Amino acid sequence: MTILLGIDPGSRHTGYGVIEQVGNRSRALAFGTISTSGAEMAPRLGTIFAGLCEVMSAHRPEEVSIEKVFMARNPDSALKLGQARGAALTAVVQSGVPVFEYSARQVKQAVVHRLLMLRRHSPALFAEGDYQPLHVAGDKASHVLGFMREHDAQAVMVVVPRMPANLLEGTTLPHIPAENWGDTQLQVMPAMQGEWRDVLSDSTLRLREGTIPVGELLGAFPVAVLARDDGPARDG
């Protein structure tokens, strides 16, 4: 098991996210924002430092990633961002945890890259695959959108939340807690049965006849993009 911390520094708002990785499965542990106020920069930097020290102490990450400073048009904004980043780095480095630096573009490219690789691997699926709506039941069914595309033995399934504001009530995370989905279930059609790979986390999920709780399907990430290459499972 590995605990990872990601930091998005800012002089007014510094965001962070903590995930737990076990093998090829990832699970969100905590997200939050360290907000500062006032005109004086020194106290704001102190707030960022103290806040991230608390995060480090609470979750004890083994690796940390932080966003690099981008080239801003406003030199004053770039300077303030650099100072906020320095406060964040100081909080991390004093704990002796290795730090990896990435640009915002690299992070976005990493997510898009996974989806584009799926499209490259399965061009016929995206060009010719048919759309099949997914059927959802339960008290939060109106808050879920899902579809499957299938072509020969290949298939991709996408499930996303819809109008999530009310479902995020009571949490500081940009991720709907599983319990907030209540009894909402996704119907597993015969064509959906079998083992699927989560494109974003590389974890695997086996769907069986019946239903699967939406809270389980969206347990690790706010959205689910699942792929399958070998066709639906067959009995016998």
Q: Please report the DSSP string for 4-61 in residue order.
A: EEEEE--SSEEEEEEEEEETTEEEEEEEEEEE--SS-HHHHHHHHHHHHHHHHHHH--
pLDDT in tens, 207-222: 988 999 999 888 777 8
Q: Which CATH class is domain 115-228?
A: mainly beta
Residue count of the chain, please give it: 236
Q: In whole angstroms, give the CA distance from residue 21 to residue 40.
A: 39
Token pair for 123: 């061009």
User: In which residue ranges of the chain is CATH 2.60.40.1180 found?
Assistant: 115-228
pLDDT, tens digit (0-9, with 9 covering 90-100), for 200-209 = 877 788 898 8
* Coil, strand or helix at 83: helix
Distance CA 88, CA 11 (A): 10
The model's pTM is 0.62
Could you give the CA distance from residue 197 to residue 226 in angstroms, rounded to a whole number?
5
pLDDT class of 230 with cuts at 50, 70, 90? low
pLDDT given for residue 114 in this prediction: 84
Helix axis angle for 41-59 and 75-93, nearest 10°, is: 40
| CATH 3.30.420.10, the chain: domain bounds | 2-102
Topology at the third CATH level for domain 2-102 = Nucleotidyltransferase; domain 5 (3.30.420)
Average pLDDT on 77-87 reads: 87
26-50 tens-digit pLDDT: 777 888 889 998 889 999 999 999 9
